[in-house]
Amino acid sequence: MQSDIDMSKKVSKEYLKHRKRLLNYTNEDMNLSLENDEQVYIALFDIPMKSGIVGFQTQSLALVFGLNVHIYHGSGSSVVDLEKNSDVMKAMQSVLKSGHQVLSKMQLVSDFDFYNSDHVRVYLKAGKGIFFKELSNKEDKINKFLQMLMNHVMAEIVKTGELVIR
């Protein structure tokens, strides 16, 4: 019997597939013309969770400009279609419209493979590529800003009552 869990990462292969597909998705795939190379059209927040259960130590908030707001759970389950709530859609659009402000303080990366961490990892995809920042406990403006953007969307999602994982 082949395991559904990638034990080196302790998350499901389905979760890894969702993450990879999202970060490989392009504005051309979306038929989206970008206004400039710094326009953010995808955001991914890898969020650590406290759990001793394999696959339950992480989840990802996935935002695709004008299309989707999903939560991918490390176990392989997901919560989809959250964008159908207008307040969640507005929060997602706010994140993606504001994201360009911090790109210069983030690292442009070509490797966006999942890894475990005690900190939130943020990936913003723009015309120039994928920008990355691991949020630390430091109280700097960039950490606070990115944490605030993520919390804004999560707060709107919580209000929907849709956080039942399917």
H-state helical runs in the chain: 13-24, 86-98, 141-160
**DSSP, res 152:** H
**Per-residue pLDDT tens digits for 94-137:** 999 999 999 999 999 999 999 989 999 999 999 999 999 999 87
Q: Which residue has the tokens 């403006």?
A: 141
Question: According to the model, what pLDDT value does residue 44 have?
Answer: 97
Amino acid letter, 106: M
For the entire predicted model, the pTM comes to: 0.90
Question: According to the model, what pLDDT value does residue 139 have?
Answer: 75
Average pLDDT over residues 70-85: 91
Amino acid letter, 21: R
* pLDDT of 166 above 50: no
